[in-house]
Amino acid sequence: MKRAWLLVTWLAAPAFADSVSCHIIYGGENFPVIAKPADDPYSIKGQKIGRYFEFKVAYISAPAELSAISVYVYATSSGEPVLIHQAKYPAAVANLAAPWGFTGFNYVYEPSKSSELQYWCEKTD
């Protein structure tokens, strides 16, 4: 009986096999950030980019009515992360801004150091 229940549970689960791949450019270096579907945006950690930025992408898959892809950029020059850029997309978004994925090509500036970060994100399988 347990095997049948596990099979039914597995088949009923939503299929989120894809991921989000973000391409970040800062100081002439490329930084990749990959986000897999998750249920809790607060458990996702940001990635330090250079000296002055932190980048976080949250791909929330459940519950379905709240599913979304959120991109956050934080300035870290003060020692504490401060949100300076946020973008939110529906989880079912398509890569329409070719060749720049679903976000298009973005520029984000750190206010006190005038540093520039560029990024674009795409959905991948």
| Residue-wise pLDDT tens digits, 76-116 | 988 899 999 999 999 988 888 679 999 999 999 998 888 99
Residue 63: the pLDDT is: 84
Residue 19: the pLDDT is: 94
Q: Which two tokens stand for residue 114?
A: 């005038």
119/112: higher pLDDT: 119
Q: What's the whole-number mean pLDDT along residues 13-37? A: 85
**Nearest-10 Cα torsion for 54, 45, 41, 5:** 150
Residue 59: the pLDDT is: 95
**pLDDT surpasses 70 at 3:** no
- pLDDT tens for residues 33-77? 999 999 888 899 999 999 999 999 999 988 888 899 999 999 998
Adjacent-strand bridge partners of 69: 59, 89
**pLDDT surpasses 50 at 9:** no
Sequence-distant (6+) residues with CB within 8 A of 100 are: 120, 122
Could you give phi then psi for residue 110, rounded to 5 degrees?
A: -80, 125
Q: What's the whole-number mean pLDDT along residues 5-12? A: 40
